[in-house]
Amino acid sequence: MTPLLAAAKIDGPEIDWAGLSPLIALIGGSILALLLGLFRARPVREFLVPFVALAAIGTALGLTIWQWDETKDLVAGAMRLDHLTLALTGIFCVAGIATVLLSWRHVAPRESAHGEYYALLLASLAGMVLLVGATDLVALFIGLELLSIPLYVLCATEMRREGSLESGLKYLIIGSVGSATLLFGSAFLYGAAGSTGFADIVKALGDQDIRDSALLLTGVGLLVVGLAFKASVAPFHMWTPDVYEGAPTPVTAFMAVATKAAAIGITIRLFDVALLPVSDIWQPALAILAAITIVVGNVGALGQSSLKRMLAYSGVAQAGYLLAGIVAATRGGVEATVFYLAAYTVMNLAAFAVITAQQGLRPDGDDLGAYRGLGVERPLLAWPLTLAMLGLAGFPLTAGFIGKFALIQASVEGGYTWLGVFIVIGSMISLGYYLKVVATMWMTESPEPAAPAPAGINPGTPPVLAGGSPEADAQGLRWEVACVAVVFGALTLAIGVYPQPLFELASDAAGAIAGLLS
């Protein structure tokens, strides 16, 4: 090596491989799944690939637990490994495992090729881990794009169904607008603070001139909007119902749960850490957004007959509840948000698992009418959905109740009592649609004999590509889907009765955010 070259060599940052290991497991799994998908043998594609995906996520979860008590900066301060990152990674992994189980033997991976489907899923998961660990605006953006781009494709994986393609395209366009806004906001923030690292931004914001600058105000505003797109916060939620309805149900479940957790996670870190010195700028803005979101989401869900659309609007409303915890900007607020995220994950996964199962049984499985008499016909599916709905509505002895209790408590403590009242008003409205589902399941006897319908052709949605056949797609009740439904339904109840362990986890995660009041 010549001296010149040696001098030109840039010292790369020190890499802590152990700290990055969950991320590496996911990316490695993604590549492996993609390569294995090239094999022609059906068992390899249909069994080995999902198994590899499951193993990769399981490994990432294991590594997360292994790293639990570590707190350190990774990659020269671009990422931070702390309890918040790890707790959210845990949520992503749980959601990922459930998604793989729901996708296995589903139509979507079969139509789009298994290797690609699972590789994209794992890449998206990796993006989420990167996003919530980001302590630098550049890392934040890379994480966000790594999360989003695979999802655009995943939405369109049911290639013979028009709705799925439409959903993918819509998500791509609106998602890109969101990303662009966020990037623009980052640039302004960099302009104001002179740095992309969160720690330096906090330092720079100690200066009164910078705090008053128009650059900063614009930057914060655009960041709020960009993240609002991702977390489907009203009024930037318009894409949510269409995309959720069109996407394959396992992908919808994944988006509803993991994407939201990631977006909320980075919102916590960005606002409650980097922008904490200017909390007087963003707190009122976020509080108003949260209130609007709660009302819009809940009112929007009222008239829906498609369960996926309803859950999309309900997801919008829940994003509003979650924001309330961030607005409080207290340790209790972050704790409540993380707790509610976990509860929300559990409840939504139960609900989406039941929808997936029901869609496997009959072509109109997404329609509320298809659930008539489910309580008598298939209690194994009806109970988890009942628990999920009651939980999302915030009935006592479910995870949702405790979560809402904590959020309201945090709002009151943070001086935002009116936001707590909004959470309550939102819950009142939400009863209108959650209970409708429960009542439909348990009230009316099924009009048809309870045959596990090897369903007829659904006239409404003709296949887009040749070769589509609903008869071939219809399956019986898949046991792994029923399993996911039952496990998460039971968890909804279990967390509601004994929330202490999850609270300790959330409390650790909140403890990672230094500098918060009390």
Partner 1 sequence: MTLHLSIMLWLPAAFGLLGALLPGKLPARVGVLGSLLALAYGITYVVDFDSGKATLQYVTDEDWIKALGIHYKLGLDGLNLFLVLLTTLLWFGATLWANLRDWDHPRTFFLWLGIAETAVLGALLAQDLALFVVFFDLMLVPFFFITVGWGGPDRVRAVTKLVIYTLVGSLLMLTAAVATGVLSAQGSGDPINFTFTALQEMGLSEGSQKWIFLFFAAAFLVKMPAFPLHGWLPDGYSAMPLPALALFSGVLSKVAAYGFLRVSLPLFPDAAADFQDLMLIIAVLTIFYGSAMAFTQTNARLILGYSSIAQLGFITLGIFAIEGVGAQGAILQSVNHGLVTLPAMFIVALLAARAGGSEDIRDMGGIAFKAPVLAVFFVITTFALLAMPGSSNFVGEFLILLGVFKAKMAIAIIASIGVVMASVYALRLFIRAMHNRVGVDVESRDLRFADALVLIPVVLLIVAFGLYPQFALEKSQKTAAVAIAPAREVLGPVSGNYGLEEAKAAEEQPAAQQPAAQPTIPGAVYVDPQTGQQVDPGTAGAIAIDPQTGQPVQQSGATNEVTP
Give me the residues that bind partner 1 (CB under 8 A), please. Answer: 335, 375-376, 390, 394-397, 401-402, 404-406, 408-409, 412-413, 417, 420-421, 424, 427-428, 431-432, 435, 438-439, 442-443, 499-500, 503-504, 506-507
In degrees and rounded to multiples of 5, residue 79 shows phi and psi of -130, 155
Q: Which residue is associated with the tokens 């791509």? A: 172
CA distances from 499 to 259, 338, 402, 465 (A): 24, 13, 8, 48
Name the residue nearer to partner 1 (CB basis): 74 or 336: 336
Name the residue nearer to partner 1 (CB basis): 417 or 458: 417
For residue 350, the minimal CB distance to partner 1 (Å) is: 17
Q: Is the peptide bond before 463 cis (omega within 30 degrees of 0)?
A: no
Name the residue nearer to partner 1 (CB basis): 237 or 404: 404
For residue 239, the minimal CB distance to partner 1 (Å) is: 30
For residue 449, the minimal CB distance to partner 1 (Å) is: 17
Number of H helices, E strands in the chain: 25, 2
For residue 415, the minimal CB distance to partner 1 (Å) is: 10
Name the residue nearer to partner 1 (CB basis): 143 or 496: 496
Q: Which residues pair with 136 in a beta bridge?
A: 197
Name the residue nearer to partner 1 (CB basis): 421 or 453: 421
For residue 377, the minimal CB distance to partner 1 (Å) is: 12
Residue type for position 163: G
Output the CA torsion sign for 380, 349, 71, 26. Answer: positive
For residue 388, the minimal CB distance to partner 1 (Å) is: 14
| 324 closest CA partner among 408, 436, 200, 228 | 408
CA distance 490 to 422: 29
Q: Which 3 state secondary structure label does DSSP give 188?
A: helix
H or E stretch including 132?
Answer: helix 114-133
Name the residue nearer to partner 1 (CB basis): 123 or 423: 423
CA distance 368 to 512: 42
For residue 379, the minimal CB distance to partner 1 (Å) is: 9
In degrees and rounded to multiples of 5, residue 483 shows phi and psi of -60, -50
Name the residue nearer to partner 1 (CB basis): 91 or 419: 419
For residue 322, the minimal CB distance to partner 1 (Å) is: 17
For residue 334, the minimal CB distance to partner 1 (Å) is: 12
Residue 45 DSSP label:
I
Q: Which residue is associated with the tokens 């439909």? A: 440
For residue 444, the minimal CB distance to partner 1 (Å) is: 9
CA distance 147 to 349: 19
Q: Which residue is associated with the tokens 């899923």? A: 121
H or E stretch including 90?
Answer: helix 83-103
Name the residue nearer to partner 1 (CB basis): 274 or 506: 506
Name the residue nearer to partner 1 (CB basis): 169 or 412: 412
In degrees and rounded to multiples of 5, residue 197 shows phi and psi of -75, 140
For residue 90, the minimal CB distance to partner 1 (Å) is: 18
Output the CA torsion sign for 348, 351, 354, 359. Answer: negative
Name the residue nearer to partner 1 (CB basis): 282 or 503: 503
For residue 511, the minimal CB distance to partner 1 (Å) is: 12
Name the residue nearer to partner 1 (CB basis): 428 or 472: 428
Which residues have a Cβ under 8 Å from the Cβ of 73 and sit 6 or more positions away? 79, 80, 81, 135
- CA–centroid distance for 270 within its chain: 17
297, 233, 325, 90 alpha-carbon torsion, rounded to 10°: 100
Q: Which residue is associated with the tokens 């009942």? A: 386
- Determine the angle formed by the axes of helices 379-393 and 331-361, rounding to 10 degrees: 150
Which residues have a Cβ under 8 Å from the Cβ of 33 and sit 6 or more positions away? 49, 52, 53, 56, 114, 115, 118, 119, 122
How many CA atoms, within 13 angstroms, populate the side-chain half-sphere of residue 466? 0
Name the residue nearer to partner 1 (CB basis): 125 or 389: 389
How many CA atoms, within 13 angstroms, populate the side-chain half-sphere of residue 433? 26
Name the residue nearer to partner 1 (CB basis): 179 or 427: 427
| 161 closest CA partner among 121, 110, 122 | 110
| 345 closest CA partner among 356, 334, 353, 333 | 353
Name the residue nearer to partner 1 (CB basis): 316 or 402: 402
For residue 406, the minimal CB distance to partner 1 (Å) is: 6
